[in-house]
């Protein structure tokens, strides 16, 4: 059994069977907790075991795109163009050096999206609708089995779009002093999205990042998260 099997037994059973990708959002409004690193590493690991993975960079910082080697000059079509409604998601996709791992990269333009969309009625569903057409009219060996959405460090319209589009949320949580601060606000937002925009949304779990077993603080964070979340978390 691989590490991925242990983390995602349900997903592996689901992915690919229905023809729809399994959609997971890496979300935490705290900055620097490992969302992007987890998206890249998980995407690479899933691709290594044969899954066809698309990472959607939904952060104006574009760290996932840069981390996967996509030069800013090669981001002619980005997730901004997709969410603003000017391009289908497939147009923003580029391959990475990792076989079966592709990315829809982002640009700084994304930071203005919330203002540009204003109170458009479908503004929270832009990403969901874009992903819905992702596997249409493609050969069975080029459809995606996983979509991983890298969220910005904020509970803004971009993160709400990610939550509205996802099957589940994965929350990277850094093992540091303020780890649990903000977690209840995040879980509250997930609850709100579930009751309004996306009843199918679940919390897949908490992924503790930057865990150091030699450090008492790391072990204290593990104990606190276990108490707070029950089984919904995964130790590294």
Ligand X SMILES: Nc1ncnc2c1ncn2[C@@H]1O[C@H](COP(=O)(O)OP(=O)(O)OP(=O)(O)O)[C@@H](O)[C@H]1O
CB 180 within 8 A of CB 187: no
Sketch the per residue contact string, 150 through 189, with ligand X: x for CB under 6 A, - otherwise.
Answer: ---x------------------------------------
Kind plus residue range of the DSSP H or E element containing 233: strand 233-234
Shortest approach of ligand X to residue 113 CB, angstroms? 16
How many other C-beta atoms can be found within 10 angstroms of the C-beta atom of residue 28? 26
Q: Which of residues 44-83 bind ligand X (CB under 6 A)?
A: 59, 61, 63
**Residue with tokens 């503790």, as numbered in its chain:** 208
Is residue 7 within 8 A of residue 38, CB to CB? The reply is: no
Q: Quote the least distance from Cβ 151 to ligand X, whole Å.
A: 8
Taking the complex as a whole, the smallest distance from the CB of residue 169 to ligand X amounts, in Å, to 14
Distance spanning both ends of the chain, measured CA to CA: 16
Q: Does 34 bind ligand X (CB under 6 A)?
A: yes
To ligand X, the closest distance from the beta carbon of 41 in angstroms equals 8
* One residue of 16, 20, 22, 36 binding ligand X per CB under 6 A: 36
C-beta of 163: minimal distance to ligand X in Å?
Answer: 16
Distance CA 147, CA 53 (A): 6
CA 69 – CA 55 distance, rounded (Å)? 13
Work out how close the CB of 120 gets to ligand X at its nearest, in angstroms, rounded to a whole number. 26
Q: How many residues does the chain have?
A: 236
Look up tokens 């029950």; give the residue: 230
Judged by CB under 5 A, the chain residues 205 through 224 that form the site for Mg ion are none
Out of 9, 31, 50, 112, which residue is the one contacting ligand X (CB under 6 A)?
31
Task: List, in sequence order, the alpha helices (H) in the chain.
Answer: 3-7, 9-14, 35-48, 63-67, 79-83, 113-117, 126-132, 157-165, 183-196, 216-229
Give the per-residue contact string, 6-45, with Mg ion (x = CB under 5 A; - = no). Answer: -----------------------------xx---------
Q: Which of 163, 175, 210, 225 binds ligand X (CB under 6 A)?
A: 210
CA 236, 17, 143, 155 torsion-angle sign: negative
Name the residues that contact ligand X, by CB under 6 A: 31-37, 59, 61, 63, 153, 209-210
């Amino acid at each position: 059994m691989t590490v991925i099997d242990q983390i995602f037994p349900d997903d592996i059973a689901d992915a690919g069977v229905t023809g729809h990708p399994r959609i997971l959002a890496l979300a935490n409004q705290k900055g620097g907790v490992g969302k992007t690193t987890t998206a890249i590493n998980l995407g690479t690991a899933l691709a290594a075991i044969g899954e066809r993975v698309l990472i959607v960079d939904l952060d104006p910082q574009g760290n996932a795109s840069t981390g996967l080697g996509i030069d800013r000059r090669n981001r002619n079509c980005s997730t901004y163009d997709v969410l603003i409604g000017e391009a289908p998601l497939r147009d923003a996709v580029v391959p990475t050096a990792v076989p079966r791992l592709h990315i829809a990269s982002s640009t700084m333009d994304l930071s203005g999206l919330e203002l540009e969309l204003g109170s458009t009625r479908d503004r929270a569903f832009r990403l969901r609708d874009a992903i819905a057409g992702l596997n249409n009219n493609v050969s069975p060996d080029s459809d995606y089995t996983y979509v991983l959405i890298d969220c910005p460090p904020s509970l803004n319209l971009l993160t709400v779009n990610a939550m509205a589009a996802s099957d589940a949320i994965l929350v990277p949580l850094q093992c540091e002093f303020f780890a649990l601060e903000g977690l209840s606000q995040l879980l509250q937002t997930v609850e709100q999205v579930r009751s309004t925009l996306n009843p199918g949304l679940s919390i897949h779990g908490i992924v503790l990042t930057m865990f150091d077993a030699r450090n008492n603080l790391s072990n204290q964070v593990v104990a606190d998260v276990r108490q707070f979340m029950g089984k919904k978390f995964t130790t590294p």
